[in-house]
Amino acid sequence: MGIVQRDGFKLTLVSYIGLILGYVNKVLLFPNFLDTEQVGLANIMINISIIYAQFSALGLTGITLRFFPFFRDKEKQHHGFLAWASMIMACGFLLTTIAFVAFKPLVVSHYSESAKLLVDYYYYIIPLGFATVFFQLYDSYLRSLLKTVVPSFINEVILRLLITLCITLYALKIVSFQQFVLIYVGLNCSVAVILVAYTAYLRQLFLKPLFGPRIKRYSKHMLGFGFFSILGSTGNALIANIDALMIAALMGTQLVNGQKVGGMYFVGIYTTVFFFTTVMLIPYRSILKITSPLVSQHWKERNMAGMEKLYKQVTAVCMVVGTLVFLGIWADFDDIFSFMPKQFSSGKYVFLFLSLGRLFDMSTGLNGVITITSKKYKFDLLFTGFLVVFTIGLNYLFIKVYGWGMNGAALATMITMIAYNLLRLIFVQYFFRMQPFEKSSFWILVLGGLCFVLNSFLPFLVNVYVDMIIRSGLISLLFMGPILVFKIAPDVNEFAVKFLKSFGVRFKFLE
């Protein structure tokens, strides 16, 4: 866990700096200077670009993580791996763009009334998709080289600083909304350019296509893996982003406080609340970026004991951190949303359902990475295909048939995430005889549940700032105190000791 802890700390630090900037953008600026439908547009464009990128990638991000260890040799320019990947991905982007343009009439027929802004800015998504797919390729390439911190800094800090500047220009009425969207798209594209420049700075930008014996040897395996990876990654993107698209399409126009609003209004609320659930995923994603190449290395070396140990360690750490962040946000939810227009507080149970789904996802650790990097990766496609149909069906049922709207979409997402990870857990246990849970998992769950219940009995203080500090501080202390004192999750203690030691602080009872 040495490299995981070292780079994991750096990535988590970068991510939380990005979180602060994201909070400024998503909570203080976007809702207060854009109307709710405009917030929905800015967010849903990113959602669609992620799906766009998965179709364009042709499975190459997964191929890179899975097969790059077999090509890694800087003196031989990694056998031309990056050059071939870039060219293939460019072809994938071209094909996806042709389909995207061809499907516009269908999009217009479904969204022209409830999400007119999306129709108006439809073509702005094309450059967003281009930037997203190339960022993902170079990010996975650098991850395979164990260069994870700078790409995260570019995406989570630099980009958000630039977006802060962008929304400030609009707030000061220096630019129109159309100009704001154009700049917003341009800034999202800029991070891909910066990442390519960083790759060149590392002298790892090898764009000369080579067709040596290594390519010949693995091409058949990569093509097979890539086919299933396309379907799997696209399915995962749909599962993660289809809820916002279905809210926009199915909720139609409604009267809210005497004002007629479209589906994009509810997308604005839903996607803003969704941002808070991503806070929980920050340490998890940081750890995954580091551990994914390590899992591939374990498969290469057939080191199952090392993989199982890593599986359990990641699960314990992620359970603790995910639960801690969830409890902190839930305790302060009403206080946090008091800084936003009142309509956004209607997403409280959206946050609850989404967070519980995310927490279960984090608590199952590396099951997804282990599955898709194993020789039995094809099974993951079956899980994904089933769940795409499942999540679309649940969203339609809960949003349209039962009329539960945003809460229904969040509930559908929660059920989908739990079902997906249960399937993967059973799969890894059955085929590889590994499961991520230990006795500590039970105690973490019990402590989290007790703190969740306790929060409902705490009185609200008059001052919102004092209430936030005391409430979240007390809940955090009651949750983390027993975990650290009784060493329920030893890896968490080890991390805490190293973190405090960097500031010259030492508590023997933690060691």
- Read off the pLDDT of residues 424-455 as tens digits, 9 standing for 90 and up: 899 999 999 998 998 888 999 999 999 999 99
What pTM did the predictor assign?
A: 0.83
Q: What is the pLDDT of residue 5?
A: 54
> Helix axis angle, 125-144 relative to 263-301, nearest 10°?
20
Query: With contact defined as beta carbons under 8 Å apart, do 412 and 243 qualify?
Result: yes
Higher local confidence (pLDDT), 2 or 310: 310
User: Does the pLDDT value for residue 230 go beyond 80?
Assistant: no
Q: Which residues of 321-358 are buried (b: 16+ CB within 10 A; e: fewer)?
A: bbbbbbbbbbbbbebbbeebeebbebbeebbbbbbbbb
Q: What is the pLDDT of residue 6?
A: 58
Distances (CA, A) of 420 to 151, 172, 387, 398, 425: 29, 45, 7, 19, 9
154: tokens are 């570019």
Q: What is the pLDDT of residue 504?
A: 63
Query: With contact defined as beta carbons under 8 Å apart, do 353 and 412 qualify?
Result: no
- Per residue in 459-509, pLDDT tens? 888 788 899 999 989 999 999 989 988 888 887 787 777 656 655 666 665
Domain boundaries, the chain: 38-245, 255-503
Q: What is the pLDDT of residue 501?
A: 65
Measure the CA–CA gap between 114 and 399, rounded to whole angstroms: 14
Measure the CA–CA gap between 252 and 111, rounded to whole angstroms: 9
Q: What is the pLDDT of residue 23?
A: 85
Query: With contact defined as beta carbons under 8 Å apart, do 349 and 407 qualify?
Result: yes
> What phi and psi values does residue 132 have, to the nearest 5 degrees?
-65, -45
Higher local confidence (pLDDT), 289 or 137: 137
Query: With contact defined as beta carbons under 8 Å apart, do 475 and 467 qualify?
Result: no
Query: With contact defined as beta carbons under 8 Å apart, do 421 and 361 qualify?
Result: yes
User: Does the pLDDT value for residue 383 go beyond 60?
Assistant: yes
- Per residue in 183-220, pLDDT tens? 999 999 999 999 999 988 988 887 777 776 777 777 77
pLDDT averaged over every residue in the chain = 86
User: Does the pLDDT value for residue 2 go beyond 60?
Assistant: no
Measure the CA–CA gap between 430 and 447, rounded to whole angstroms: 30
**C-beta neighbour count of 199 within 10 angstroms:** 22
Residue 387's pLDDT band (boundaries 50, 70, 90)? confident
Q: Stretch 294-317: mean pLDDT, rounded?
A: 86
Query: With contact defined as beta carbons under 8 Å apart, do 362 and 285 qualify?
Result: no
- Per residue in 43-85, pLDDT tens? 999 989 998 998 888 888 878 877 777 777 777 777 778 888 8
Q: What is the pLDDT of residue 511?
A: 62
Measure the CA–CA gap between 437 and 428, rounded to whole angstroms: 13
Q: What is the pLDDT of residue 121?
A: 94
Measure the CA–CA gap between 375 and 391, rounded to whole angstroms: 27
Measure the CA–CA gap between 459 and 89, rounded to whole angstroms: 55
Coil, helix or strand at residue 84: helix
